[in-house]
Amino acid sequence: MKFFLDTANVDEIKKAAETGLVDGITTNPSLVAKTGRKYKDVLKDICSIVNGPISAEVVSEDTEGMLGEARDLARIHSNIVIKIPMTKQGLPAAKKLVSQGIPVNMTLVFSPLQALVCGKLGVDYVSPFIGRLDDISHYGIELVSDIMEIYDNYNIDTEIIVASVRHPLHILDAAKIGAHIATVPAAVFEKMILHPLTDKGMEMFLADAAKIPSN
Ligand code: G3P
Domain parsing of the chain, residue ranges? 2-209
Q: Is 202 helix (H, G, I), strand (E, B) or coil?
A: helix
Q: What are the φ/ψ torsions at residue 66 (nearest 5 degrees)? A: -60, -45
Q: Report CA(131)–ligand 1 centroid distance (Å).
A: 8
What's the CA-to-centroid distance between 30 and ligand 1, angstroms? 9
The answer, yes or no, to whether any atom of ligand 1 lies below 6 A from the CB of 132, is yes
Return the CATH superfamily for domain 2-209.
Answer: Aldolase class I (3.20.20.70)
Spatial distance between the Cα atoms of 199 and 190, rounded to a whole number of angstroms: 14
| pTM for this prediction | 0.95
| Cα–Cα distances in angstroms (integers) from residue 202 to residues 118, 194, 196, in the given order | 47, 12, 10
- pLDDT per residue, tens digit, the chain (215 aa), is 999 999 999 999 999 999 999 999 999 999 999 999 999 999 999 999 999 999 999 999 999 999 999 999 999 999 999 999 999 999 999 999 999 999 999 999 999 999 999 999 999 999 999 999 999 999 999 999 999 999 999 999 999 999 999 999 999 999 999 999 999 999 999 999 999 999 999 999 999 999 999 87
Contact between 170 and 189 under an 8 Å Cβ cutoff? The reply is: no
Cα(159)–Cα(93) distance, integer angstroms: 19
Residue 167 in contact with ligand 1 by CB distance below 6 A: no
- How open is the CA angle 49-80-169, to the nearest 5 degrees? 70
**Nearest of 45, 41, 37, 120 to residue 86 by alpha carbon:** 120
Site to substitute for ligand 1 among 132, 143, 166, most atoms within 8 A of C-beta? 132
